[in-house]
Chain A
Amino acid sequence: MFPYIHVFGKQLPMYGLLAAVGTIFAVLYFKYREKGAGRLAAHLELAFLYGLVGTFIGAKLLFILTQLPQIIADFAYLHTDTQAFLQKYLYSGFVFYGGLFGGLAGVYLYARHQRLSYDALLQLLLPTVPLIHSFGRMGCFCMGCCYGKAAQPATLGLVFHASQIAPNDIPLIPVQLYEAILVFILFIVLARMAKQGKKGKSMLAVYLVAYGTIRFILEFLRGDTYRGFIGWLSISQLLSLLAICLGSWLLWKKHYKTKQHSVSTDS
C-alpha cells in the first residue's frame, strides 16, 4: 500500500518505521508498569534489551535453519556476488517464532544472570511482544509482504497497485490487518492479566495458546508460498501447533499444582 515514506528527502521503509513505533510504545508500556515493580524496576530496561537482542538472533537463526538447503546451494555466490548473498540471507528474512523463543530465552538469561524471578519479569514484559508484533504486521501490510489469497468475493479484498512483493491489481484478503487487530486484542488481554497480578507463566501459556491458534487459522488465508511447507502444513503452522502444545502443558501444570496445593491445605 505505502511501502516507503519520504522524510527530509530520505526514503524510509514503512515496515521498519512501524516496527520502531511499536518498540517505542512497548518501552512506554513497561515504563508505565515500572512504577509498581519494586526492585525489578531497575532491571526492566536491560531485560528488555536482552529480549530484543534475543529476538533478532532467534528470528534470524530460525530463518537460516528453514533455508539451509537453499543457503548451501547458493553458498558459492558469497564470493562472486557478496552483496546479493547478504541481501538475501542476512539483511532480510526473519521468522516470527524464532524471534519469540529467542526473546524469551534472552530475558531468561538475564534473569538467571541477575538472579531475578523470570516469572516476575515475564509478567512485566510479555505484553510488549504482541504490541510490537501488531505494529510489525501493519508494516507488512504497507510493504505488501505476508499477503493473503485472492479474496472471494472480491469486495472483501484490498488491491495493491505498486507492490514489489504482493500480486498487483488483484483483490487480496488483508490477512496482515486481521492479524494486527487480533494480536492487538491479545496485547490488551495480557496487559489486563498483568494488572490483575496474574503470574508471568500463566500469561505466557495464554499467549502461546491464543497466538498459536490465531496464526494456525490465518495461515490458511495466506497466499505467499515462500514461507516453506512440510506436507500440506506450513512451517509456521507446525510451529503454531508446537506453541499450542507448550501453552497447554503450562496451563495443565499450573492447574495441577493449584489442585495439589488445595488438597494439601484441606488435609
Chain B
Amino acid sequence: MDRNESIPGQSAATASLVCGIISVVLWFFGYSSLVSVILGIIGLVLAGNAKRAGNNSGIRTAGFVLSLIGLLGGVLAFIACIACVGVVGILAGTTAI
C-alpha cells in the first residue's frame, strides 16, 4: 500500500501544502498573483478535506496556513497591481468612464 494512503487525508494535506507554497511564491510576479488566489482557494479546500478525513498532521496545518496567507496576499497584491494600472490609465487620460 502507498505510504500516503495509510494515513487518512495525507495526499490532500500534501497537495494543500504544495498549493500553499506555490501561491505564496507567485505573489511576487505581477499578474501571477491571480493564480495565487486560485491556488490559495484550492489549497484551503484540500486542507479542509484532509481535516474532514481525520488528518490533523503538521503538513495539513502548514498547508492550511500557507494557502490562507497565499490567498490573502494574492488578493492584496492583485488589488494593488490593478490599482497601479488604474492610476496609470487615469494619468494617461485613457479612462473615459
User: Which residues of A are at the interface with B, using a C-beta cutoff of 8 A?
Assistant: 10-13, 16-17, 20, 23-24, 27, 42-43, 45-46, 49, 53, 74, 77, 80-81, 83-85, 87-88, 91
CB pair A13 B76 closer than 8 Å: yes
- Closest CB-CB distance, A134 to chain B, in whole Å? 17
Cα–Cα distance between A13 and B68 once the two chains are bound (Å):
19
Excluding A24-B68, A74-B97, A84-B96, 6 further A-B contacts by CB distance (< 8 Å) are A13-B79, A42-B52, A77-B96, A81-B94, A83-B85, A91-B86
CB pair A20 B75 closer than 8 Å: yes
CB pair A84 B89 closer than 8 Å: yes
User: A87 touches which one: B45, B76, B80, B89 (CB < 8 A)?
Assistant: B89
CB pair B80 A20 closer than 8 Å: no
Q: How many residues of B contact A (CB 8 A)?
A: 28
With CB as the reference atom, state the residue of chain A lying closest to B52. A42
Is B25's beta carbon under 8 Å from chain A? no
User: A46 touches which one: B52, B84, B94 (CB < 8 A)?
Assistant: B52
User: B44 touches which one: A17, A45, A77 (CB < 8 A)?
Assistant: A45
Instruction: Say what secondary structure dominates the interface of chain B.
Output: helix
Residues on B with C-beta less than 8 A from A77 are 96-97
Asked whether A91 and B82 contact (CB < 8 A) given A20-B73, A24-B68, A84-B95, the answer is: yes
CB pair A53 B41 closer than 8 Å: yes
Cα–Cα distance between A91 and B87 once the two chains are bound (Å):
13
User: Which residues of B are at the interface with A, using a C-beta cutoff of 8 A?
Assistant: 41, 44-45, 47-49, 51-52, 54, 64, 68, 72-73, 75-77, 79-80, 82-86, 89, 94-97
5 pairs of residues in contact across A and B, judged by CB atoms under 8 Å: A20-B76, A45-B48, A77-B96, A85-B97, A91-B79
Residues on A with C-beta less than 8 A from B94 are 81, 83-84
Instruction: Say what secondary structure dominates the interface of chain A.
Output: helix
Cα–Cα distance between A17 and B75 once the two chains are bound (Å):
10
CB pair A23 B97 closer than 8 Å: no
Cα–Cα distance between A20 and B69 once the two chains are bound (Å):
9
With CB as the reference atom, state the residue of chain B lying closest to A77. B97
CB pair A80 B96 closer than 8 Å: yes
CB pair A13 B82 closer than 8 Å: no
- Closest CB-CB distance, A24 to chain B, in whole Å? 7
User: B86 touches which one: A43, A53, A80, A87 (CB < 8 A)?
Assistant: A87
CB pair A12 B76 closer than 8 Å: yes
Cα–Cα distance between A43 and B47 once the two chains are bound (Å):
11
User: B84 touches which one: A11, A27, A81 (CB < 8 A)?
Assistant: A11
Residues on B with C-beta less than 8 A from A80 are 96
Residues on B with C-beta less than 8 A from A27 are 68
Cα–Cα distance between A150 and B53 once the two chains are bound (Å):
56
Cα–Cα distance between A49 and B82 once the two chains are bound (Å):
24
Residues on B with C-beta less than 8 A from A13 are 76, 79-80, 83
CB pair B52 A43 closer than 8 Å: yes
- For A24, A45, A81, the residue with the greatest tally of chain B CB atoms inside 10 Å of its CB is A45
CB pair A46 B89 closer than 8 Å: no
With CB as the reference atom, state the residue of chain A lying closest to B68. A27
